[in-house]
Structure 1
């Protein structure tokens, strides 16, 4: 009689031979793990074998810059939400190396043995199909539930991961929630995945705000991505930055700080500009700031009250 581990290996081998990879994203990851990375699903070596040394871990954390302290409060809140499910939380870099984690002390021994510990590498090249590695490989949120993992030694885990994109839309990190609870339904794993995705978007929003702290941050209308789709707009109403979600929704690319675009054009609200329009907008803002006080608005604009009145009359 086959053991659960040997049954798992047979299932993966059958799926790869049958061409299931063309129809299933999980099977496609299995195929990458077996053919591209030459991994053996029956490999029994512990995840500890992929762990960085203390100096290497310190260097990897330093390379993350502001991301770790920015993400920390969001990881804390996420752990408060899902920690009761026997879960641990990991933040990994683009190499799949766990750089920060949250977990209950009573579960730490089991998670450390499984490799869900700081310094351990979880890229697909190292660990096959898994939440962190497959999220990085595909650049999207994934949930890898128990026997969807490639390595048989990981089939006791259920992992939900979401990517964290930087202020310029580049992939910076992954947030993962993993649990070894055998009684956790796959549907619950899906709900955890939604929660992880929301935490990742909040981290992105904070990083974006820090990067463009002198700009006005605008939420892109008409999207279903919550706080994820953001634009940074300067004093001239030029878009100088956009999050990954905003870039995808608005079809933006390139370095917007070097090649800014008018906000109205980006949002599809472009109109013919004129000096008269610009003058009317300046006057309207000055009047709004002074509560409609023409004398105060004139002083703010460096005009006489009579001149401002003439301009208002022409509006």
Structure 2
């Protein structure tokens, strides 16, 4: 049996409910109602207004916008493919939008693409909260957090046929750069289904962030400093060859209170992992000797040859730094 398809026509009853909520003194109690208030009072939007064709960018403008987000789209592409593989057969589309709310790329099934086009869920469409009112992409970008806007939680009555599950994406310096969205226009997608999809979206967004971070610090060692239980992502640190931390994901910046949006001042890894003791020259010699022994399988003669020194010299240096073969 085919899924119920919601109407594309604006719902005047919904518009009235939104305006009543905006005028209510209890509007700020709900996060959705607070967004409705922003939409009506700050942006001056009308929930009963029809969709405007001017909300879509033309080919040249969209091409330039995509070029400016080339690294993000390159990293996100395989994640979008996998995400669509999980939800596409359920009649959902996958979108990624820039910080202005403009859809940069999407994945939609052949049978559903035309309907999503009608709904404005396609590349070039603007879903900024200032343009569309409360919606998954726009509200996610305004609040910088994962959101689900289910059907009649949208501000505009023209959008109540859609459920949107979104998560923000942050770059290697912790700056908000995009929103990842799954939208469904099927009438049989309830809140339980939305909750399951929301979890997929958040996981995929964190995956994109991780890949962006690893790409940014491709020449560094990546250290896992912990996993945030609130689903803000993995706390990853980028460490250079001198054991100095030179980069941190947003989760790591929040955990270690490093701030966001700027490069961090290099600091010893030990300060982040609980070892605040200052390094010494002996520490460096000790590390070199142990690594040589490890590569030589514990054979001192072979380790000495790797370092270009004699066996006796190797032993003297071991003794000086307090290192024995049992280490």
Q: TM class, shorter-chain normalised?
A: over 0.9
Deviations 1:219-242 (A, max 9, x none): 122533486321111011111111
Tell me which protein shows more helix as a share of its residues.
Answer: 1
Aligned to 1:266: 272
Deviations 1:89-120 (A, max 9, x none): 11111110011111111112211111001101
- Aligned equivalents of 1:284 and 1:313: distance in 2? 13
Structure 1 unaligned residues grouped into runs of 5+:
none
1:214 aligns with 2:229: no
Aligned to 2:113: 108
Counterpart mapping for 1:1-315 below 5 A: 5-46=11-52, 48-224=53-229, 225=231, 228-253=234-259, 259-314=265-320, 315=322
SS of the residue corresponding to residue 309 of structure 1 reads helix
Give the drift of 1:272. 3.5
Give the drift of 1:261. 1.3
- Aligned equivalents of 1:163 and 1:103: distance in 2? 20
Deviations 1:38-87 (A, max 9, x none): 000111124x3300011000000001021112111110110010112210
Contact 2:235 2:248 in 1 (8 A): yes
Deviations 1:260-296 (A, max 9, x none): 1111112333224322333222222221122112123
- Aligned equivalents of 1:57 and 1:50: distance in 2? 12
- Aligned equivalents of 1:74 and 1:14: distance in 2? 41
- Aligned equivalents of 1:293 and 1:255: distance in 2? 48
TM-score norm. by structure 2 comes to 0.90
Number of aligned positions between the proteins: 312
Deviates more, 1:252-261 or 1:241-250: 252-261
Task: Tell me the C-alpha RMSD between the 2 structures.
Answer: 1.9
Contact 1:114 1:154 in 2 (8 A): yes
Give the drift of 1:24. 1.6
Give the drift of 1:14. 2.2
SS of the residue corresponding to residue 288 of structure 2 reads helix
TM-score norm. by structure 1 comes to 0.93
Contact 1:20 1:28 in 2 (8 A): no
Contact 1:239 1:256 in 2 (8 A): no
Structure 2 unaligned residues grouped into runs of 5+:
1-8, 323-327
Give the drift of 1:192. 0.4
- Aligned equivalents of 1:255 and 1:264: distance in 2? 23
Structure 1 residues 256 and 298, CA gap change in structure 2 (3 angstroms): farther
